Amino acid sequence: MNFVKINFVKVIVVALSLVTASAVAQTDIPLADGEIRRVDRETQKITIRHGPIPNINMPPMTMVFQAASPALLDQAKPGDKVKFSAVQERGAYIVTRIEPAP
């Protein structure tokens, strides 16, 4: 009986630390280098020529991303050099942050 209780506590501890780890990962996504090639506000898509994106295992290439929100595209225009972060969600690549390259 005690054994079962201890294992239950363990499961909760592991579950909590997983939640914490993924919350940290969300805010801690590394920024990749990119150059904006195309912005399509209608479909909320942005084409970026990008450097390596380690968190989604992607080598450098030019590709289309979905923007996480319309506001992300407000300042974006072709030719801009940017730092950006992207995630992969259910097969789609989504840009979650864009800032001017320093």
Calpha distance 52→16 (Å, rounded)? 31
Minimum distance from CB of 92 to Cu ion (Å)? 12
Could you say whether residue 63 binds Cu ion (CB under 5 A)?
yes
What distance in Å separates the CA atoms of residue 50 and residue 78, rounded to the nearest whole number? 13
For Cu ion, the closer CB: 59 or 100: 59
The two beta strands, 92-100 and 61-67, are: parallel
Query: What is the smallest separation between the CB atom of 62 and Cu ion, expressed in angstroms?
Result: 8
Greatest Cα pair distance in the chain: 65
Q: 3 to 42, contacts with Cu ion by CB under 5 A?
A: none
Q: Which is nearer to Cu ion, 60 or 78 (CB)?
A: 60
61 binds Cu ion (CB under 5 A): yes
Residue 58 near Cu ion by CB under 5 A:
yes
